[in-house]
């Protein structure tokens, strides 16, 4: 049953990831600018999901935005790993629904160092609402009150860091931390601490590697959202296995 679930989760992730390129392209604009409404050739875009292709550019279909294969493969791997860790417990439905949004946020932040409110805030709300529903389903292994407290604690912690050093921690990271805290809190405080530590560790290793490679200085700003998301992913995997 678990093997079938992992395969199904990978297929779901591959399909969901294939619909992310257009959204990633449209959301990938610097802070303060309106979302993209045209392709690189200036032709109007329709919709927010799907492959990023324009049939009018140079009289042929021209791709733009992140590669479909990359996003599809990445989302499939994330979903398969979550399914393998969680098994048939009901909260797997929540992880599979939230995973594509996490991938989309990571891609956008890497491209333009921006975490759109229209993604981060609904992610936090959806995580808490869906986990609240899962708490009434038999055989779940998490705790919804701790998920709520985890969201408040992690969001509050990131808010303090934002106040201390606004140049090093964006307010988008604070909002993203609400959703990350919710999913980590579902499996308890040790998972929250583990996921938080993993995110900062991964971010520090990446920054250090850039400095060593002389591609960045100590004061160079890097997008932290992807590492916050990866840390939450690591914590969630370990928490699910241990539950």
CB atoms within 10 A of CB 118: 9
Where are the domains positioned within the chain?
89-242
Count CA atoms within 13 Å of residue 105 on its CB side: 29
In the block, tokens 């992913």 appear at 233
Q: How far is CA 45 from CA 66, 71, 151, in A?
A: 16, 20, 35
**What pLDDT, in 10s, does the model give residues 83-110?**
999 999 999 999 999 999 999 999 999 9
Which pLDDT does position 90 carry in this prediction?
Answer: 96
Which pLDDT does position 62 carry in this prediction?
Answer: 54
Phi, psi angle pair for 44, to nearest 5°: -60, 145
Separation of alpha carbons 103 and 123, rounded Å: 12
pTM of structure: 0.94
Q: Is the pLDDT of residue 60 over 60?
A: no
Q: Which helix (H) or strand (E) holds 208?
A: helix 189-212
Separation of alpha carbons 205 and 103, rounded Å: 20
Residue 50 structure tokens = 């799907």
Most confident of 47-51, 66-70, 200-204: 200-204
Separation of alpha carbons 59 and 209, rounded Å: 43
Angle, nearest 10°, between helix axes 144-164 and 117-134? 160
**What pLDDT, in 10s, does the model give residues 98-147?**
999 999 999 999 999 999 999 999 999 999 999 999 999 999 999 999 99
Separation of alpha carbons 115 and 211, rounded Å: 24
Residue 165 structure tokens = 């050093």
pLDDT-derived band at 63, boundaries 50, 70, 90: low
Looking at the chain, the whole-number percentage of residues with pLDDT higher than 90 is 74
Residue-averaged pLDDT of the chain: 92
**DSSP readout, 98-167?**
HHHHHHHHHHHHHHHS---HHHHHHHHHHHHHHHHHHTTSTT----HHHHHHHHHHHHHHHHHHHHH-TT
Which pLDDT does position 58 carry in this prediction?
Answer: 57
Could you say which DSSP state residue 67 is in? -
């Amino acid at each position: 049953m678990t093997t079938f679930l992992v395969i199904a989760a990978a297929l779901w992730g591959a399909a969901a990831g294939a619909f992310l390129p257009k959204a990633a392209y449209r959301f990938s604009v610097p802070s303060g600018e309106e979302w993209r409404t045209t392709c690189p050739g200036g032709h109007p875009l329709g919709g927010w999901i799907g492959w990023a292709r324009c049939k009018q550019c140079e009289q042929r279909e021209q791709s733009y935005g992140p590669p479909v294969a990359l996003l599809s493969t990445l989302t499939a791997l994330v979903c398969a790993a979550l399914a393998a860790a969680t098994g048939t417990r009901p909260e797997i439905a929540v992880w599979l629904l939230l995973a594509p949004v996490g991938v989309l946020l990571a891609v956008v932040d890497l491209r333009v160092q921006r975490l759109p409110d229209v993604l981060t805030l609904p992610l936090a709300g959806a995580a808490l609402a869906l986990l609240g529903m899962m708490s009434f389903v038999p055989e779940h292994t998490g705790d919804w009150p701790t998920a709520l407290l985890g969201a408040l604690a992690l969001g509050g912690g990131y808010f303090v860091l934002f106040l201390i050093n606004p140049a090093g921690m964006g307010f988008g990271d604070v909002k993203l931390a609400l959703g990350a805290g919710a999913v980590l809190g579902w499996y308890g405080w040790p998972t929250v601490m583990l996921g938080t530590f993993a995110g900062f560790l991964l971010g520090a290793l990446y920054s250090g590697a850039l400095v060593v490679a002389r591609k960045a200085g100590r004061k160079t700003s890097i997008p932290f959202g992807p590492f916050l998301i990866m840390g939450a992913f690591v914590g969630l995997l370990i928490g699910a296995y241990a539950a």
